[in-house]
């Protein structure tokens, strides 16, 4: 099963003199179990695109289906939404309950689950995001650090057992330690509950580390979707689209410009280290 996006277009203020198409004619399939990174400069349509994945907004034209549920149909949309967990930028701003446990329980309770089942899900979700219930359950969410708040917000989504986890800039505003903690948490969640992950990010290094595939948006259009290695081979295309590239990709490009014969697919530190070690006998 999968999320299938077909000919998706969304126009804001349609019919007016200031009508603007944020996404245009996008075809994309998000596969079960994969990690898809979505990149693009500010205003490229990333946030508008992902809001269609659980039916928060409706297409001007085109269609989105989640495991066969048509997200344009009201009854089917209710079923599809149960499969897609959405985490927006700065999700800690959504925390509101007296305790961390109550906040995490909010979603499962709205799903109509029994209190014993809710308690199990809350404890499991807290464990998965690295916030042990015996230490954090009764704390106020507002006593947590920035990274802990972000993980508590993630736990609230995880407690609803999503099949697809959609993250809009999950590391935004965090310090390097907080960023590392959230990335590790996402890695752990994917392995533990076998969910698909769709992550919007401005950090090419984060996407390079995590994603199986990358979709590149520019001006509302999908200009490239491919395996991570193949996307980062297109360094010049990314730069032309106003995007940064992983630091290792930029270093590899500079070396090629200086005449060094280095593979296009190098974008990770480990790969660069292996390349340099392999060159020692040729220098």
pTM for the model stands at: 0.85
* Nearest to 52, CA basis, from 31, 22, 75: 22
Q: Which CATH architecture has domain 2-228?
A: 3-Layer(aba) Sandwich (3.40)
pLDDT digit of tens for each residue in the chain (283 aa)?
899 999 999 999 888 888 899 999 999 999 999 999 999 988 899 999 999 999 999 999 999 999 999 999 999 999 999 999 998 887 778 888 999 999 999 999 988 899 999 999 999 999 988 899 999 999 999 999 888 888 898 899 999 989 999 999 888 877 888 788 888 888 888 888 889 999 999 888 888 888 999 999 999 999 999 999 889 888 778 888 888 777 787 788 788 888 888 877 777 778 888 888 877 655 4
Alpha-carbon 123 to chain mean position: 24
Residue spans of the domains in the chain: they are: 2-228
């Amino acid at each position: 099963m999968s999320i299938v996006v077909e000919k998706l277009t969304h126009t804001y203020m349609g019919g007016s003199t200031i009508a603007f198409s944020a996404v245009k004619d996008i075809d994309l399939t998000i596969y079960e179990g994969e990690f898809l990174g979505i990149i693009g400069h500010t205003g490229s349509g990333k946030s508008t695109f992902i809001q269609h994945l659980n039916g928060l907004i409706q297409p001007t034209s085109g269609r989105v289906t989640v495991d066969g549920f048509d997200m344009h149909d009201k009854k089917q949309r209710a079923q599809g939404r149960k499969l897609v967990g959405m985490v927006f930028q700065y999700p800690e701003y959504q925390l509101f309950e007296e305790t961390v446990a109550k906040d995490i329980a909010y979603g499962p309770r709205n799903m109509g689950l029994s209190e014993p089942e809710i308690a199990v899900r809350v404890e499991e979700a807290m464990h998965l995001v690295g916030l042990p219930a015996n230490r954090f359950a009764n704390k106020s969410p507002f006593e947590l650090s920035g990274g802990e708040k972000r993980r508590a917000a993630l736990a609230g989504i995880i407690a609803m057992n999503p099949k697809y986890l959609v993250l809009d800039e999950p590391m935004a505003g965090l310090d390097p330690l907080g960023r590392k903690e959230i990335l590790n948490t996402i890695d752990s969640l994917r392995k533990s509950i076998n969910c698909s992950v769709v992550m919007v990010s401005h950090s090419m290094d984060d996407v390079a580390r995590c994603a199986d595939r990358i979709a590149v948006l520019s001006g509302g259009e999908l200009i490239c979707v491919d395996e991570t290695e193949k996307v980062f081979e297109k360094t010049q295309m990314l730069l032309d689209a106003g995007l940064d590239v992983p630091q290792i990709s930029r270093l590899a490009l500079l070396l090629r410009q200086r005449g060094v014969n280095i593979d296009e697919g190098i974008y990770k530190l480990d790969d660069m280290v292996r390349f340099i070690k392999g060159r020692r006998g040729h220098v």
